[in-house]
Homo-oligomer: A and B are copies of this chain.
Amino acid sequence: MKFEVITKDNSCNARTGRLITSHGGISTPVFMPVATRGTIRALTFRDIEEIGFEIILSNTYHLYIRPGIDILEKAGGLHKFMNYDKPLLTDSGGFQVFSLSDLCKVHEYGVEFKSHLDGSSHLFTPEKVLDIQKVIGSDIMMVLDQCTNYPVTREEAKNAVDRTVNWAGLSYRYWKDSFDTDRQALFAIVQGSVYPDLREECASRLLQHDFSGYAIGGLSVGEPKELYREMTGITLQHIPDNKPKYMMGVGSPAEILYAVMYGVDMFDCVMPTRIARNGTLYTSLGRINIKSAANSDDFSPLDPNCGCYVCRNFSRAYLRHIFRMGEISSLIYNSYHNLFFMKEFLNEIRGSIEAGTFLQVYKKWTDIYK
């Protein structure tokens, strides 16, 4: 994997860049839609290609549970299994183990957990999650980290940082020894909850190894927006500019803008498709709820400024009707539109950084999306 910064904004830390992986290049800042179990919810890969996404994310924990590593190995990796030949990032499974599984027990050597599907017992170690990601064949892999909830005591946060740094070191050595490091990149994850000095400590200790990139983890877990933003700024200061910076699990327009301003290059989030399935749609005029009675005889497009298949073809009245009727096509059209919006939104952000007008775009969108 290679990364280069292409344009840097003069008045803030926003930048554009180019990430080259073994399955192709990615212009940053980039939003990655989430194919949790090897498929984007309610969409086909044709939709994803048509919208123009250059990279997607998939979840190691979910794939490990189903279909399981033996199937993915026989398939020749996830790219082949799901017939997708563009860049793919996988998380380490750490976040899901801590949030989804039952009875998760953290040891020095790894984390023991029971499957949320059938209660079977499993162990993830730093090495094991890399082995799984090797089978998956991800272009960008993530290290196993220890996530913390919000709030946690300083002591708990410090312990999680120590373990995260220790696991990252083990991951780094294993990666260097046993992987084609050009073909599969490895990102570390900065933890530290909402403690500025722990964030700094975690970042600087992780920087002792030359990871391919650095992610910010453990945020967007319930902390107040101000704290979240403060931690974002602080953590980013400690990641060198020649590395890609990835903000995990963030996807609201306002928070993407904020993080881009502080130098973030990569985002992923299930929110655009999740809210779409609940009828909430992003438009150039703000969020709209397609269920609203006001749409019942509104034959104008969802978003007059959007050029997507849905906005070019269907009215608000029609989209409301099929949503109310619980039609699957409503889930398809809503998801398609919201992901198209995200792609265009990131295109506009990149274009504005290149044109030196990012702060104007920042203001325009934060007036619409608070």
Partner of A38, one of B39, B297, B318: B318
Q: A42: CB under 8 A from chain B?
A: yes
| Inter-chain contacts of A37 with B (CB < 8 A) | 321-322, 325, 327
| Inter-chain contacts of A313 with B (CB < 8 A) | 45, 83
Q: Return A298 CB to nearest CB of chain B, in Å.
A: 10
A81, B297: Cα distance in complex, Å: 10
Are A83 and B318 in contact, with the CB atoms below 8 A?
yes
| Inter-chain contacts of A40 with B (CB < 8 A) | 329
Q: A332: CB under 8 A from chain B?
A: yes
| Inter-chain contacts of A327 with B (CB < 8 A) | 37, 39, 41
Are A38 and B322 in contact, with the CB atoms below 8 A?
yes
Q: A103: CB under 8 A from chain B?
A: no
Q: A41-B329, A322-B39, A327-B41 are in contact. Are A317 and B66 (CB under 8 A)?
A: no
A74, B299: Cα distance in complex, Å: 9
- A78-117 interface bits toward B, Cβ cutoff 8 Å, 1 = contact, 0 = none: 0001110000000000000000000000000000000000
State how many copies of this chain the complex holds.
2
Q: Return A294 CB to nearest CB of chain B, in Å.
A: 13
| Inter-chain contacts of A69 with B (CB < 8 A) | none
Q: A7: CB under 8 A from chain B?
A: no
Q: A43: CB under 8 A from chain B?
A: yes
Are B39 and A82 in contact, with the CB atoms below 8 A?
no
Are B67 and A314 in contact, with the CB atoms below 8 A?
no
Q: A328: CB under 8 A from chain B?
A: yes
Q: A44: CB under 8 A from chain B?
A: yes
Partner of A329, one of B43, B309, B317, B325: B43
Query: Which of chain A's residues 291-340 have a Cβ closer than 8 Å to chain B?
Result: 296-297, 299, 309, 313-315, 317-318, 321-322, 324-325, 327-333
A38, B327: Cα distance in complex, Å: 10
Q: A37-B325, A325-B37 are in contact. Are A317 and B83 (CB under 8 A)?
A: no
| Inter-chain contacts of A321 with B (CB < 8 A) | 37-38, 66-67, 71, 81
Chain B minimum-CB-distance residue to A65: B325
Q: A364: CB under 8 A from chain B?
A: no
Query: Which of chain A's residues 271-287 have a Cβ closer than 8 Å to chain B?
Result: none
Q: Return A318 CB to nearest CB of chain B, in Å.
A: 6
Are A309 and B46 in contact, with the CB atoms below 8 A?
yes
Q: Return A296 CB to nearest CB of chain B, in Å.
A: 6
| Inter-chain contacts of A71 with B (CB < 8 A) | 296-297, 317, 321
A75, B318: Cα distance in complex, Å: 9
A330, B42: Cα distance in complex, Å: 9
A331, B41: Cα distance in complex, Å: 11
Query: Which of chain A's residues 332-352 have a Cβ closer than 8 Å to chain B?
Result: 332-333
A249, B9: Cα distance in complex, Å: 63
A325, B70: Cα distance in complex, Å: 17
Q: A41-B327, A74-B297, A325-B37 are in contact. Are A82 and B333 (CB under 8 A)?
A: no
Question: Given A37-B321, A39-B329, 13 more contacts at CB 8 Å?
Answer: A38-B322, A39-B322, A39-B325, A41-B329, A42-B332, A44-B333, A67-B296, A71-B296, A71-B297, A81-B321, A82-B314, A83-B313, A83-B314
13 contacts between A and B (CB under 8 A): A37-B325, A39-B322, A39-B325, A39-B330, A41-B327, A42-B328, A44-B329, A66-B324, A71-B296, A75-B318, A81-B317, A83-B314, A328-B328
10 shortest interchain CB distances as A-B pairs: A42-B328, A67-B321, A39-B329, A83-B313, A37-B325, A39-B327, A39-B322, A74-B297, A81-B318, A328-B331
